Structure formats: C-alpha cells, structure tokens
Amino acid sequence: MNTAEGPTRPPGRMFDVGLAVVLALGIVFTAFMFMTSWGGTAWLFGTAVSVVVSAVALFRARFKALTAIAGLVLTAGAVTVSRIAGDDLPQEPAPATALALSVLVGSAIRTLPAGGAAAIAVGGVAVTVAFWLEGLSGVASAATLAMTAALVLGPVLRLLDRRALATPREPQESWAHPPHS
C-alpha cells in the first residue's frame, strides 16, 4: 500500500457499519414502542418503510443520485400514506427513516455534481415541509433536525473534499514502508 494514496479500505465502510447498527437498533426500538403504544399492526407500516429506506441508505455508495431520489420518493410516499390513514397509523417518518433520508441527502450533496446536488437538496427540503403539514410534533422536529444536519454537513464535507484533493499529501513513513535513502 502506498501511504501517499491513503488506506486501501475507505473509512466510509466503518461509517456504514456504525450506521447499520444505529439504524437497526432504531428500527427495533421504534417497532417495540409502536407495538406497546399503538397496538395491533400499526407498527408494520412504519417498520417496513424504515427497513427499506435504511437499506437504500446503506447501498448509496454506487448510485448516489438514484438512492437519494428513491429515499425521497419512499419517504414522501410514507408521509402521504400516514396522513391519509389519519389516526390509524403513526406519523411518518419514523426516526430511523429520517436518519436514513438525511444520510442519503447529505451524501448526495457531498458527491453529486452541483445541479444534481441542488435538486436533491430541494427535494429534501420539500419532503421536510411535508412532515410539517400534519402539524407540530416531535417526529417532524426530529426529522427536520436530521435534514438540517444533512443540508449543512453535505456542503461542508464537499468543500473539505475539494480542498483535500487540491492539496497534495506527502508520503508518510511507516514500518512497512521505510524512507528510501
């Protein structure tokens, strides 16, 4: 491995493992809370949406634009279904869905060309506005906070990536690659 090129395993894999654990725990916890508070099968819809949007977020590396669009469409659809169902379903998005969507939007903003990144950002804002159409709630507040983080961190990481590419790194010495004399 040439240390000037960086590690062979991208640090993003560790992020994805951590994200998968957090999303899985969030899905299980939310499903349990829905089972104990709503009862019946009301928990199934939100759990299914969370699982699908979370899976899409974990597969974002290859198809940034497609996965971001899929996450936006799935979440917007879930919000619409929960609004139509009224009191029969919990309000969407569930916390894991909101987190997965914010990861998709932030990642797309970070890596897509400017036009695509702007379109995904606008889509993220539009879906977030849809959360609020049902009224003031903790669910909408948490989802808005997650989306705000994505809309701030995506461009910041984009700028940092651009600066890192513009600044050449010097090779680092290691025991595996001692300095050449």
DSSP class per residue in 108-146: HHHHS-HHHHHHHHHHHHHHHHHHHTT-S-HHHHHHHHH
Provide the residue-wise pLDDT of the chain in tens; the chain has 181 residues: 444 444 444 567 888 899 999 999 999 999 999 888 887 888 899 999 999 999 999 999 889 999 999 999 999 999 999 889 887 888 888 999 999 999 999 999 999 999 999 999 999 999 999 988 877 788 889 999 999 999 999 999 999 888 877 776 666 666 666 666 5
Is pTM beyond 0.75? Reply is yes
Spatial CB neighbours of 50, under 8 Å, sequence gap ≥ 6: 23, 26, 27, 30, 94, 96, 97, 100
